[in-house]
Structure 1
Amino acid sequence: MAKQSYVDFVADLKSRLGEDEAMRRAVGGDFFAVGALQRQLLESLGLRDGQCVVDVGCGSGRLACQLAAYEHLRFMGFDVVPDLISYAKRLCHRDDWEFDVTDGARIRVADGTADFVCFFSVFTHLLQEDCYRYLQEAMRVLRPGGRIVLSFLEFRLIAHWPMFNARSGHLNQFIERDTLLAWARQLGLVVESIHGGDQPHIPLHEDVTWEDGRVMRGKGHLGQSVAVLRVPSPPVATAVQEDTAPSQPHAPEPLPSPIIRIAAARAYVGVGAANLRLSIMVRQNCDLWVRASTRILQQQGYGHLLAAPSLLFFDATGSAIAANAGWQTLPQTTQGMLRELLPAAGSEAQGLDGTDAGLWLQLADGEYSIAVADRQGKEGLIDLEVFQALPSRLR
């Protein structure tokens, strides 16, 4: 929705409904239920008192009023409609918080200030280039390890199609998960999780009651899908003890590895869908090793990992030609060989167990694709690696 049309929309609501009702309707209704879900989502991601939250598209204070009880929390809210900003200020009774009218994809916050930047129901009404610019801005204002929490609409969910078909007079933008993954990869953001809007995923320590009487207990969801992206933390420096012994001659360069990594991908696999799919081209007969693993993700401290990955390998016609649902099903000789070879190719040899899936394939020239799913029907992050073996070194 363009800025002026949104301003006019809010003014029309106020003229017909009165201020309180208009301010709640202007941000989509269910003001208190949605705000409580947003707050508990942030709390599940580690929000604590004393941190800094930036709420882009804060509206009339739906999230802000839920956070007002955090005595030492710093909060900065931005919106394009002055009436919404004014109402949010009054609603929260927090003179120490900042609310401001914004225009354009600029977040007026100092670099490295925030722990969370939220975009609830914001990317749903922006052009994609503006969404990307906002992500760039969010990276600038976040501290290392800070999180971007955004909601979005996607075509994969039937429940979102009415928004696409609606003739509302304003933009309802849909963003596919592949787009979010590409943006994150380009910006160097870590994708912590992506949850469909129809799947309960927000841990609730308080029940949430909707205006129609529905009560969410245990886990809740917003209706819109949610992605959580994280600014990587810098590597921890380790002290290096100065060596006073005489210098030693350099070791000889190692021989080339008999196995080389030719492709890698990291993605979030959704429920009931093999939505990590990697295409490869084989230009000469070769042996390939394909691995789906969470080991490195665990070591790097990621959450929401794929519990039980499985692999499917397809030829150019789309026919499945191989599958594996666990490392332990591979022949013992293959397991032993790969434990020895993978470290030389820059991969992690430990943890090659039931939490991994792997395929060893002898392939002719042609196009192939690899898909990853979860054999327990769950969702989460996964690493996919493809290695080419040099047959002369293995046989």
Structure 2
Amino acid sequence: MKKTLLTLAIGSVMAAGVQAAPIAEEIIQESFYPYEKGVPTVDAVKSGMVINASNVDSVKEHLDPAMYQFIKNGDYEMKVGETTDFRLHQSYVDATRKYSGDSALGDKVGEISGSVAGRPFPQEPSMDDPRAGEKLAWNYKYGYNWGDSAAIYPFYWKYRDMNSGKVERTVKFNFHFLNYTHRTQEEPFPEITPNPSNLFRAIYVQVLEPYDVKNTQLLIQRYEDDLKRDNAYLYLGFQRRVRRLSTGQTTDAFLGSDIMIEDFEGYNGRISDMNWTYKGTKYILSPMYNHNDMDLDTETHKDDEGYQVVKFGGKGGCFPEITWQLRKTYVVESDPVDPNHPISKRVHYMDAQTFIIPRNITYDRKGDMWKSWTIGQAHPDHHLPVNKGKGVAVDDSFSMIDIQANHCTTGQFKGIVDGSLTPASKMTVQNLRASGR
């Protein structure tokens, strides 16, 4: 009897030890609902205004440096919309309550423990915390971008000469995203099993057009252990074989575009590949909007269901014709650990509510501004009917501008938050071979 009671007591202590420490509700509220008590108000920035070269100096502190310069040069006029609430799915918020109290950084950059699902570090960052930038990077990595799985189906990239406006090339893709772990909304959760390689996430890309690159496929498999290098595979249709990509190839121009594989989604690499520095919190104009309320492209890429993509304009057709809203933003710098990396740093403008990265500026090895990355984010309730209620900020348009070369690559696409489009079987090398036949 005494032995039984002792066993139960020890079991109770052990059970208590594995339960997450509680996160204060005010921390959850501030992290996920920053506009609950009102949206940011700035005298110089009003919904409905158009920011152009004549008035851009009055709002300079609410623009990132690249966007300020584009507007100052007359390359683009920015339309301001209302700041809106991009609430993430309740399951992700609940998972944060349940698990994040046990999240902790390890001794090395890229090491983390206790993070099962949800936002690992919902606490407000502090300039006094030397690892605040790293924590924000983990919040991005384990964020709810695309939910547990989704597809961009189809996805049009246009390569443009910024001076002439000529579209040099159009490439049509399908993109697929799948989280193996840290799942909260789509069963199974928190992880897909079996998962013998202990993968965290995978991205699969297939080229549909034009003919010379048709059926080129890319597969990226990212491990749960951030210190392990990703598996990246490329299937070349004309060679009909799979080859493994070296680490350096993820920083090459992907299919001749202005984009690196490492640029995908704002940052597509390991936490451990960068040094992360939190530079402060600002109210920044971000490309977030209601897709169905925009002036959409009625001339190209309209599908059988009547869906229309975002229109592009400005200099060279390199800028999305959308509204921008004033939002709480964390400014984070990442500089590569590898001294041979082609960039010196990126400045990420992370949305404080969703932890997507709608704006990035990339600097070359000399420290000069090189590329400007815009990822337009659409509210799921004002997009495709299938996305309503999914609690995902839907990637909806993009523009990567090579400032030095006066060239850009733009993206128009149809994002679908539907797990049935991305089964785990699609995220395998075997699928590359089978789909390439």
Both structures adopt the same fold (TM-score exceeding 0.5): no
Range into which the TM-score falls when normalised by the shorter chain: under 0.3
Q: Which has the larger radius of gyration?
A: 1
Task: Tell me: higher relative CO, structure 1 or 2? Use CA pairs within 8 A at least 6 residues apart.
Answer: 2
